[in-house]
Amino acid sequence: MAAAPQSDMVKIAINDIEIEVPKGELIVESVKRLGLEIPIFCYHPRMKPVGMCRMCLVEVGFRQPDGSVRKMPKPQAGCTLPASDGMVIYTDSEMVHRDRKGVLEFLLINHPLDCPICDRGGECPLQNNTLAYGPSTSRFTELKRHLPKAYPLSRHVVLDLERCIQCGRCVRFTEEISGDAQLAFRFRGAEMQPSTFQLTDFESKFSGNVIEICPVGALTSRNYRFRARPWDLETRPGLCTITPCGTNVWFDHRAGRLIRINGRTNEAVNEEWTSDATKFGHDFYNSPDRLLAPNLRSGDGFQGTGWSEAYQAVLPAFQSGPSALLIGTQNVSNEALFLAQKLFRDGFKSSNIDHRLGLPIVARSESLAVKHGIDPIQTNIASLETMDAVLVFGTSLADEEPMAFLRVRKGWFQRGMKVVVAHSEATDADRFAQVILRYREGAEAVLASGLADLVAGRGDAAKTASETGVAEEMLKEAAAALSGRTAILTTCRLALPAAEALAGLAREKEFAFWQMAVGANQQGAAELGVLPDTLPGGAADPNPGLDAVAVLEAAARGEIKALWLAGLDPFELHPDRALVERALENVETLVVQHWMKVEACSYATAILPMSLPAEHDGTYTSVERRVQRMQPALKAPGESKPAWRIFAECLFRINPGVPAFNAGEVMDQIAAEVPAFAAAAYPNLAGEGVILEPAKTLSPA
């Protein structure tokens, strides 16, 4: 393998300290190598420098042959100044101090003194820079200008025009990062203001990020507004369990209630960004319908009980007749998934377990891994931005895989990566796609097969066009674009024949193929054998059971005597409401294990309250097989328990032995029984987490 190219290095001096930095590196980044700081407002390391705020002014000179330093007559913006050989930088001179004070004094002329009531107070860069670098007193005695306050840009974001310093961060984010370009500067001079075109709602799927990158309190969260002060909050690291990307976040909480979610930096996953689903979608932690204690049915109602009594009431039914488990993955850890399947396989002697209610169900023998020997995950989120071309087939990445969407757009924006989008409906990726293949609904398999043939240099474009509704010219252009290092992205929702055609193309042309999970920790459930025909690690179950839909159908016929619903409500996930009603009515013993009251609780024999991910220790497997750890940030309400502990206690009652005392011990057990998780012990999960190796067992039996 060729050696990685090395950046040319140049020698510069910062405050008379010699240092080597990559040629062209911005001075605002170079000074960080010495532990120094240049104050900024408009600059953001993930966006193009614009030099709008002038806060980063530094004194610049160049070393002459005789050793003297010839200085530029005026200060320069450190955020737009690239390093070159012989450059001399001063960040702490009298000129720099004077200029910083002048910039801050100018910014504060019309900035309101809102700090006591501003949500940004206590974590505001303008506030911090003013205290550190600004004038001690103000010379401004005139009346400040007044503009609309608390103007709602959307249901999530509110704009306070008086506070805006026109740094452009929010506008540039929508143009460079999210790509929706919904914000722009309107008017000029003192009237300039960020706004949506024609004053429409700010509907970006990533709008919450502008709140975090705004250096003042101009853009604030309508959800968080006036709920707390930063110094009132306790902050803990966590993970998003709504999207499948494994987005890293901060949980800010106060008095036992979740207050807000902020992005947390993980360069391998989300950099520092979040989707709105992540940032604003965790309100269920504060739901008034949280379950607080176990309940057993008493006549037409329920009566509170203890955990031991609840176990004693329901476990015999699962041991004495046909039983089944349907488990959701959105808020259930790897440890809980592993113990759930172990409880049913080893304790109840039943393989009627599944996590795919509401998702496509593919038998193990028909899966890509077994039938074709193809690993469905051949790349990762961070690698997407380095590709030469990407084919996005049958999925809206911004909705289903938001962090993958941002990486694909980054590759297009920064490197000119070619993007081909194939979908029956419009998607957010259409805005930057080189080719859009809009096929007729139901024609995805024909298009996938026809496109694969065209890329491979065979096939009939005219025939494929007539059968799919895609223009022949577009098919040819798409086939030509898919060359070099190419990734093919789709999800488990895509019809199996189409997925097989795309996987075959990837194998033939040595492209990277990725069939993505769409549910949080859905990938963990697949790896850990929460399937009726697959054991943990991928081996075939010698006694396969019923899949999720078959379980409901069998329960509706009265063939399932005991049914356990863990972390899901079948009324929300299955389209046939009548079937769900018959199934739950005909089951003799129904356990509903959930964190909140759901419709299925009305049919339950026992209701078991479980805690949510931020309330206990556990790990989660993202769409790229990345295992990351979530430690408790909040206290679990009432008597609710982690799902893994509920399953462990049930298993201990059936098969007495040495129980697991914490989630780390369960992970040690997983690592011992599932080779792919061998490196996922808790001490190894700090930082970016651990990516699992693909399962080695690919034979049908």
> What percent of the chain is modeled with pLDDT above 90?
84
**What six digits make up the tokens of 519?**
């549910």
* 254 in Cβ contact with 228 (< 8 Å): yes
Per-residue model confidence (pLDDT) at position 146 = 87
> What percent of the chain is modeled with pLDDT above 70?
98
The mean pLDDT of 91-111, rounded to a whole number, is 92
Per-residue model confidence (pLDDT) at position 690 = 94
* 352 in Cβ contact with 560 (< 8 Å): yes
The mean pLDDT of 669-673, rounded to a whole number, is 94
Q: Would the pLDDT of 697 be above 50?
A: no
CA distance 277 to 458: 42
Per-residue model confidence (pLDDT) at position 698 = 47
Q: What is the pLDDT of residues 372-386, one digit of tens each?
A: 989 999 999 999 999
**What six digits make up the tokens of 331?**
């808020």
19-28, 134-143, 373-382, 384-393: segment of lowest average pLDDT: 134-143
* Closest of 165, 163, 167, 166 to residue 151, by C-alpha: 163
CA distance 110 to 138: 12
How many other CB atoms are there within 10 angstroms of residue 272's CB atom? 17
Q: Would the pLDDT of 640 be above 90?
A: yes
Q: Would the pLDDT of 701 be above 80?
A: no
The mean pLDDT of 349-375, rounded to a whole number, is 93
Q: At residue 684, what are phi and psi to the nearest 5 degrees? A: -90, -5
CA R_g for the chain: 29
pLDDT band at 306 (very low <50, low <70, confident <90, very high): very high
Mean of pLDDT over the chain:
92
Q: What is the pLDDT of residues 207-247, one digit of tens each?
A: 999 999 999 999 999 999 999 999 999 999 999 999 999 99
State the Cα angle at 460 between 458 and 461, rounded to 5°. 110
pLDDT band at 142 (very low <50, low <70, confident <90, very high): confident
Per-residue model confidence (pLDDT) at position 634 = 94
Task: Supply the DSSP symbol for 653.
Answer: H
The mean pLDDT of 607-632, rounded to a whole number, is 96
Give just the sign of the alpha carbon dihedral 489, 491, 494, 498: positive
Q: What is the pLDDT of residues 438-455, one digit of tens each?
A: 999 999 999 999 999 999
Q: Which residue has the higher pLDDT, 401 or 188?
A: 401
Per-residue model confidence (pLDDT) at position 6 = 53
Q: Would the pLDDT of 3 be above 80?
A: no
The mean pLDDT of 690-696, rounded to a whole number, is 78
Q: Would the pLDDT of 315 be above 50?
A: yes
Complete domains list, the chain, with CATH:
9-106 (3.10.20.740), 108-221 (3.30.70.20), 295-359+522-691 (3.40.50.740), 365-516 (3.40.228.10)
- Which of 1-5, 200-204, 527-531 shows the highest mean pLDDT? 527-531
pLDDT band at 143 (very low <50, low <70, confident <90, very high): confident
How many other CB atoms are there within 10 angstroms of residue 48's CB atom? 12
CA distance 589 to 603: 9
* Closest of 282, 135, 126 to residue 208, by C-alpha: 282
Work out the burial of residue 147: count CB atoms within 10 Å of its CB; fewer than 13 is exposed, 13-18 middle, 19 or more buried: middle
Per-residue model confidence (pLDDT) at position 390 = 97
- Beta strands of 64-102 (E only): which ranges? 69-71, 76-77, 87-90
Coil vs helix vs strand at 395: coil
pLDDT band at 693 (very low <50, low <70, confident <90, very high): confident
**What six digits make up the tokens of 79?**
């955020």
CA distance 30 to 7: 14
pLDDT band at 458 (very low <50, low <70, confident <90, very high): confident
Coil vs helix vs strand at 60: strand
Per-residue model confidence (pLDDT) at position 5 = 46
pLDDT band at 2 (very low <50, low <70, confident <90, very high): very low
Q: Would the pLDDT of 192 be above 90?
A: no
Q: What is the pLDDT of residues 531-584, one digit of tens each?
A: 999 999 889 999 999 999 999 999 999 999 999 999 999 999 999 999 999 999
Q: Which residue has the higher pLDDT, 147 or 76?
A: 76
The mean pLDDT of 174-198, rounded to a whole number, is 88
Per-residue model confidence (pLDDT) at position 61 = 92
